[in-house]
């Protein structure tokens, strides 16, 4: 896939997640969160009123720290595709 194709597929995957109305498993959301942050080069630190949630988000980001943006986009796309194929 070219970078442009990855970007289009990534945007479609994000839209499918945002449009979905049922709740997602917490571990799935944490993976998506970390992939999204890496894919978009967002360097904001996790913030939450709940310190435990912030810790989980920080850990998820730490686990993806060596990913390049395109790698993170591909992993995001794959995770979303897998979820909608097998968990519905």
Cβ pair 17, 80 in contact under 8 A: yes
Is pLDDT above 90 for 45? Answer: no
Q: Taking all residues of the chain, what is their mean pLDDT, rounded to a whole number? A: 93
Is pLDDT above 70 for 88? Answer: no
Number of domains making up the chain: 1
Closest CA to 28 of 78, 68, 74: 78
Q: Under 8 Å CB-to-CB from 71, ≥6 apart: which residues?
A: 38
Is pLDDT above 80 for 47? Answer: no
Please report, in angstroms and rounded to a whole number, the separation of the first and last CA atoms in the chain: 27
The tokens for 2 are 């070219």
pLDDT at 44 (0 to 100): 79
- Tell me, what CATH number does 73's domain have? 1.20.80.10
Each residue's pLDDT tens digit, 10-29 = 999 999 999 999 999 999 99
Domain containing 31: what range? 3-86
Q: How many CB atoms sit inside 10 A of residue 20's CB?
A: 13
């Amino acid at each position: 896939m070219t970078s442009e194709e990855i970007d289009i597929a990534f945007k479609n995957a994000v839209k499918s997640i945002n449009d979905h109305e049922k709740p997602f498993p917490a571990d799935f959301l944490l993976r998506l969160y970390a992939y999204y942050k890496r894919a978009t080069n967002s360097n904001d630190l996790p913030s939450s009123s709940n310190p435990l949630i912030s810790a989980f988000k920080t850990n998820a980001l730490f686990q993806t720290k060596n990913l390049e943006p395109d790698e993170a986009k591909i992993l995001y796309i794959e995770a979303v595709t897998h979820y909608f194929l097998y968990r519905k």
